[in-house]
Amino acid sequence: MMVEVFKTNVQKETDTNYIIAVIKRQFPMYKVNFDLEDCDKILRVEGVDLQWRNIIDYVNCLGYICVKLD
């Protein structure tokens, strides 16, 4: 099981629900959540064989910034 954490510019809860739905549609086995209380507006994704570059691409294509945190 891998866990990746991303910094985003997502501000609204409604936006998080949409982004999570898009990611889950493509990767149904991933566990996805946001922490909008964090200053980095964290997106956390957990899954086996995690394709983090695809996650960044999907979020970017939706018009948001998404950067992998080390």
Amino acid found at 29 = M
pLDDT of residue 56: 97
How would you classify residue 46: left for phi > 0, otherwise alpha for psi between -120 and 50, otherwise beta? beta
Overall average pLDDT of the 31-54 stretch = 97
Q: Which helix (H) or strand (E) holds 19?
A: helix 13-26
Name the E strands within 1-70.
Answer: 2-8, 31-35, 42-47, 66-69
pLDDT band at residue 70 under the 50/70/90 scheme: confident
Amino acid found at 56 = I
pTM of the model: 0.94
Specify whether the CB–CB gap between 1 and 25 falls below 8 A: no
- As a whole number of angstroms, the distance between CA 48 and CA 3 comes to 9
Is the pLDDT assigned to residue 6 strictly greater than 90?
A: yes
Mean pLDDT across the chain:
96
